[in-house]
Amino acid sequence: MKAIVNVFLKNGVLDSQGKAVLHALSGHGFQSVRDVRVGKQIIIELDESDSATAKEKVAHMCEELLANTVIEDYEIEIIS
């Protein structure tokens, strides 16, 4: 089973990397881009057959290590 975790800064937290990308895109003529938020994606292979259990385990991993929950949110997608 595979878990895909997307980690991103919470709304209201300054995303300086996103602002830099926005500025670069604007400089390359992509004027229609209003905002950019940069995050990270973590792909985890699990020896688990139950998707609910897998999601629970991955959520625990996120809370303990993968995300700084003070300033970051995360989303988990389980793929069989």
pLDDT digits (tens, 9 = 90+) for 35-80: 999 999 999 999 999 999 999 999 999 999 999 999 999 999 999 8
The length of the chain is 80
What's residue 80's pLDDT?
81
Would you say residue 18 has pLDDT above 90? Answer: yes
- At 2 the three-state DSSP class reads strand
Alpha helix (H) residue ranges in the chain: 16-27, 51-61
In the chain, the number of structural domains is: 1
What's residue 67's pLDDT?
98
Q: Name the strands in the sheet holding 72-79, side by side, starting at the edge strand that comes first in the sequence.
A: 39-45, 2-9, 72-79
The domain containing residue 10 runs over which residues?
A: 2-79
Would you say residue 26 has pLDDT above 90? Answer: yes
Q: Looking at residues 12-40, what average pLDDT do you find?
A: 97
What's residue 1's pLDDT?
96
Tokens of 55: 């999601």
CATH number of 33's domain: 3.30.1280.10
